Amino acid sequence: MSEFKEPERIQQSRPTIEGAGVRLKRVFGPREAPLVDPFLLLDDFHSSDPKDYVAGFPWHPHRGIETVTYMISGVVEHGDSIGNKGAINSGDVQWMTAGNGILHQEMPQRYEGMMQGFQLWVNLPSSKKMMSPRYRDVSKSQIPTHAPSRGIDIKVIAGEIGGTKGPVQDLVVRTEYFDVGLGPGVALEHSVEPGHRTVAYVYEGAASFGKERKNIVGSENLVVLGQGRKIAVKADRRGARFLLASGAPLRERIAWGGPIVMNTQDELDLAFRELSEGTFIKTRQS
């Protein structure tokens, strides 16, 4: 195994419409799932025009996955079938484990200026797909920043870097999830668990990835990194901000049915049959 992870794939996010008409950028989804295991999907929703997002994501089901919503700027009001409700504000994170089934809604509110957020889907292993749902609301003030030197600031949502641990712990799948900021020309190296899949999504500025630094990756581009023990990245003269996610691959079959991701078609069929029969929700509001 080489020491440094080099880019295996670089691709631009693609426009799509989800929910009740939200215009967003799909960073990766079903067609890339085998390449980014244990991650399934990453969406970037950002706009300064409320018409692009206020229709939101009305009530819909999930099973077999975790959804991680991270707001850079703006407000998303939410509610679910186990009694949680509230708002995800600028800088906040919601880490929701759908498990055996949950219904929820996520409704972006009108915001003055650029509204931006991300939703990452993490797959659950077959042994945990029918676990009880759980929900973690993490406020901006709970998310530590690792700033080892001038020009580097890393918001640590999950995992650990330089002794700084993220607030989201007790994860089903061992995951690191960082929001990394680098000043112009600043470089960063970070060691990851051997065998973990690592992806980066540049959402501001540009940077080169890998020890060879062969490619400059601009905004709204995904980088899938190959095997290795270390990540090497250097911002160009514009500086860079990117999401960095790393996790242990599950290497299991994927049966995908919209917001429900299981291992077999029979499991998907059962989930949709339960939805139609009203027996989908296993955990009720207390």
Q: pLDDT tens, 23-46? A: 999 999 999 999 999 999 999 999
Domain contains 114: yes
Q: Which of 202, 179, 184, 219 is nearest to 90 (CA)?
A: 179
Range of the domain at 191: 7-277
Residue 285 lies in a domain: no
Mean pLDDT of 215-236: 96
- Residue 285's pLDDT band, with cuts at 50, 70 and 90, is low
pLDDT at 218 over 90: yes
DSSP assignment string, 261-285:
EESSHHHHHHHHHHHHHT----S--
> What is d(CA 101, CA 275) in angstroms, rounded to the nearest whole number?
10
What is the percent of the chain with per-residue pLDDT over 90, rounded to a whole number?
A: 93
pLDDT tops 90 at residue 102 = yes
Question: Could you say which DSSP state residue 110 is in?
Answer: P
Residue 284 located in a structural domain: no
Residue 127: CATH number of its domain: 2.60.120.10
pLDDT digits (tens, 9 = 90+) for 110-135: 999 999 999 999 999 999 999 999 98
Please state the domain count of the chain: 1
Length of the chain: 286
